[in-house]
A = this chain, B = another copy of it.
């Protein structure tokens, strides 16, 4: 897997995990229906506990990014990904608000912030290792 954890970060491990898995889905590196490592396997690979991986998987399952079956284990959502509905847009705005406020207070222009957004969209949708050979 492409997961890279920073165990010294103040960002919880399970959050780093969900973030990178969602970005993997957003970038297309993780494809619909693709199987993910079992909680025990991924935990061993990353050197963390089984329950931390399980927490991340459960959260992504609740949000609709993953499906979990007895038979196939954990797979990337094979059907429709969770939508960009009003509930999500509302939450997005609540999360963005303090970031925008500090940007304004510091004099960051709206264009500057939108440029960062544009850059993120470009790099997430077109990641460095898209067509790379699979090892």
Interface, chain A (partner B; CB < 8 A): 19, 22-23, 25-27, 65, 81-84, 88-89, 92-93, 95-108, 110, 112-114, 116-121, 124-125
The answer to whether A22 and B102 touch across the interface, beta carbons within 8 angstroms, is yes
Distance (whole angstroms) from the CB of A82 to the closest CB of chain B: 6
The A contact surface, by secondary structure, is helix
A26 touches B117 (CB 8 A): no
Best-buried of A25, A26, A83, A107 by chain B (most CB within 10 Å): A26
**A–B pairs, 11, beta carbons within 8 Å:** A22-B101, A23-B98, A26-B105, A27-B101, A84-B108, A89-B112, A92-B108, A93-B120, A95-B99, A97-B124, A100-B124
- The reply to whether A22 and B99 form a contact with Cβ atoms under 8 Å apart is no
